[in-house]
Amino acid sequence: MPTAQEPTLTLNPGAANGPSVAAGGTWQVHALAQGKAMATITGLLKSLKADKVSWDLSAIDSMDHIGAQLFWNAWGKTRPPDLQLAPGQEEFFNRLETTGKLELPRPRQQRLTWVMKLGFAMLLFFEHMTGFITLIGQLTLDLWRFVRAPQRGPWKEISANIFHAGFQALGITALVGFLIGVVLSFLSAQQLRAFGGDIYLVNLLGMSIIRELGPLLAAILVAGRSGSSITAQLGVMRVTEELDAMLVMGISHGFRLVMPKVLALAISMPLLVIWTDSMALIGGMLSAQVELGLSPQYFISKLPDAVPLANYMIGLGKGVVFGMLIALVSCHFGLRIKPNTESLGRGTTTSVVTAITVVILADAVFAILFNGVGF
């Protein structure tokens, strides 16, 4: 015999008005959770057809929302035609009936055509261009302010950025430059030997490294290393609300954050270009001695004649321009980061990719403008 606390269902197929179901016991969560009561009750309810049976719940001792929900699900979320309830049970089913009619509005799905996507991309591009030009204008004003009152300038920030972006990048630029020099010299020696042009290896290495590869390698490495660091630093300051605090205290973002980074990279990049060129030429010199038997003394003596001074100056000029572009692009994306971690990661990635792309485009512009210089 079931106890008074257990929920019960009694089916009477021979009633005068057709089959009927009488429920009794306690239809609350603590009673339904005892033993296998929930599984048994759920199985019985699923086997009954709610619209063909009369339901009598007046004998139930107590009920909560869990018990009412079991009946409501078995009825297909609608009241059966013949239903008897105790006075306190009407409220449960009224609430379930009202809630079941609520429907959330479906979000409007708008399919973007390729023309609309292109339009949005163009608008985003012009938005970035406007922000970048504004940043350059603000930098010009900050530089004029710095020239007028250098004693009030951010010297510590400039020095710190030179250390982080320049000195700490010496290791990676030396390694990559040396390996590129070795590989380029090795591959070039293979071809020159076949045509008897061994002595022209100095010309090939000198022109390619000093004019093109040295500045470009240094810029790409700095863009990936220091550019991402600048963007992440400004993004973290946005997340921690340090940028807002600076504005409240009347401290200009451009004068204290952007200008020191631009000046630091404009100073560091030419020095890194010289360093990268030297390491790449040393690597090429060693490879030339192994492959072609060219002595280091011969390599060094022929290098000034093989590479005119104009190419050296073009390489240094590229370093200055590349450094300023990397700093501006990194600061542009860093200041646009929103105060959340997702935007921080996306902004840093976009900053690095954009900086490298801008550097390559600037190198192409240099090649077009100085195509007749230094040859």
Mean pLDDT of the chain: 85
Asked whether residue 288 is assigned to any structural domain, the reply reads: yes
Asked whether residue 110 is assigned to any structural domain, the reply reads: no
pLDDT band at 170 (very low <50, low <70, confident <90, very high): very high
In whole angstroms, give the CA distance from residue 21 to residue 307.
102
How many Cα atoms within 13 Å fall on the side-chain side of residue 82? 13
Nearest to 283 by CA among 356, 217, 373, 220: 217
User: 122 with 68, same domain?
Assistant: no
Pairing of strands 8-12, 20-27: antiparallel
Q: At what angle do helices 259-291 and 214-222 cross, to 10 degrees?
A: 130
Asked whether residue 44 is assigned to any structural domain, the reply reads: yes
Asked whether residue 2 is assigned to any structural domain, the reply reads: no
User: 364 with 313, same domain?
Assistant: yes
Task: Copy the structure tokens of residue 96.
Answer: 């379930």
Asked whether residue 45 is assigned to any structural domain, the reply reads: yes
pLDDT band at 53 (very low <50, low <70, confident <90, very high): confident
Task: Output the furthest CA–CA distance in the chain (Å, rounded).
Answer: 119
What is the reported pLDDT for 17? 64
In whole angstroms, give the CA distance from residue 18 to residue 54.
7
User: 90 with 197, same domain?
Assistant: no
DSSP 8-state class, residue 258: I
In whole angstroms, give the CA distance from residue 244 to residue 74.
57
What's the pLDDT tens digit per position in 326-369?
A: 999 999 999 999 888 888 889 999 999 999 999 999 999 999 98
Q: At what angle do helices 309-335 and 341-369 cross, to 10 degrees?
A: 160
Neighbours of 21 (CB within 10 A): 22
Number of folded domains that form the chain? 2
Domain of 27, in residue numbers: 8-100
Neighbours of 270 (CB within 10 A): 22
H or E element that contains 72: helix 65-74
Task: Copy the structure tokens of residue 266.
Answer: 């404009």
Residues 6+ apart with CB under 8 A from 188: 201, 204, 205
CATH number of the domain to which 57 belongs: 3.30.750
Asked whether residue 1 is assigned to any structural domain, the reply reads: no
Q: pTM above 0.85?
A: no
Nearest to 322 by CA among 212, 234, 232: 212
Residue 211's alpha-carbon distances to 35, 308, 348, 367, in angstroms, are: 83, 10, 30, 10
pLDDT band at 317 (very low <50, low <70, confident <90, very high): very high
What is the reported pLDDT for 83? 79
Q: Is residue 217 pLDDT above 90, yes or no?
A: yes
First to last CA, the chain: 107
In whole angstroms, give the CA distance from residue 285 to residue 155.
40
In whole angstroms, give the CA distance from residue 9 to residue 13.
13
H or E element that contains 58: strand 54-63
Asked whether residue 3 is assigned to any structural domain, the reply reads: no
Asked whether residue 47 is assigned to any structural domain, the reply reads: yes
User: 154 with 52, same domain?
Assistant: no
What is the reported pLDDT for 355? 95
What's the pLDDT tens digit per position in 87-122?
A: 778 887 788 777 765 555 666 666 778 888 888 889
User: 82 with 148, same domain?
Assistant: no
Rounded to 5°, the CA angle 296-299-305 comes to: 155
